[in-house]
Structure 1
Amino acid sequence: MSTTTPEHDARVAQLTFASVYPHYITKVEKKGRTKAELHQVIEWLTGFDDAKLQELIDEKASFKTFFEKANLNPKAHLIKGVICGYRIEDIETQLTREARYLDKLVDELARGRKMEKILRGD
């Protein structure tokens, strides 16, 4: 299994969702997708509605806290592929894998993939 380093995992855990979120919006909007679609994808993965997302942004929640509070979609394990040089399904550290799930969904949205495919058939 190719896995991440402890240093990499620690960096991911300490990142705040609030610091990454504007980049997600920019990425999807630049490709003609909407903030509402981004929120739909995030809610599918985490169970967070718009109000909960805003609360997590306001409290500058780390990815560690963000994913501890998430109710991860049971189909999340179907998210596969390479992101940031790592094969998602091979990442052993749960938090890092979950963060990469989110990155992968944002990428798929920005690349114009159909929403039903992004949401793994839901």
Structure 2
Amino acid sequence: MQVLRQRKGLDPTVVFTRSEVPDREPIEIQAVDYRVLTGACAAVNLEDFYFHDFRHTWASWHVQSGTPLLVLKELGGRKKIETVSKYGHLAPDRLSHRAHAATFSSQQEAQKEKPPARAVLIA
């Protein structure tokens, strides 16, 4: 956060640039290379962070926000669902709304014994 605060106001359109020369236009980073990433990580004391970690973070946030795994597969350009299935544990509620969708015979018999629910309207 400190690095972002330091950069606030330097340029209204980009956060990280390759050039910070005062009288020159900043060069937007189109392709981050290893040198830029390691420099940025060193600036914030972040160790063991790699390019692919961005992809993992992106996918994790998608799943936690409710993106279905099949959609995530397409968004990420993956060919196999197995590649993104490892993120399924991040959305534990993804099946809860379907858990009671099927009714088994013993449940049907128990439901027959219950009187039907009645709605009461209060005016």
Superposed pair shares fold, TM > 0.5: no
TM-score, normalising length from structure 1?
0.21
Higher Cα radius of gyration:
2
Q: Relative contact order, CA 8 A, sep 6+: which one is greater?
A: 1
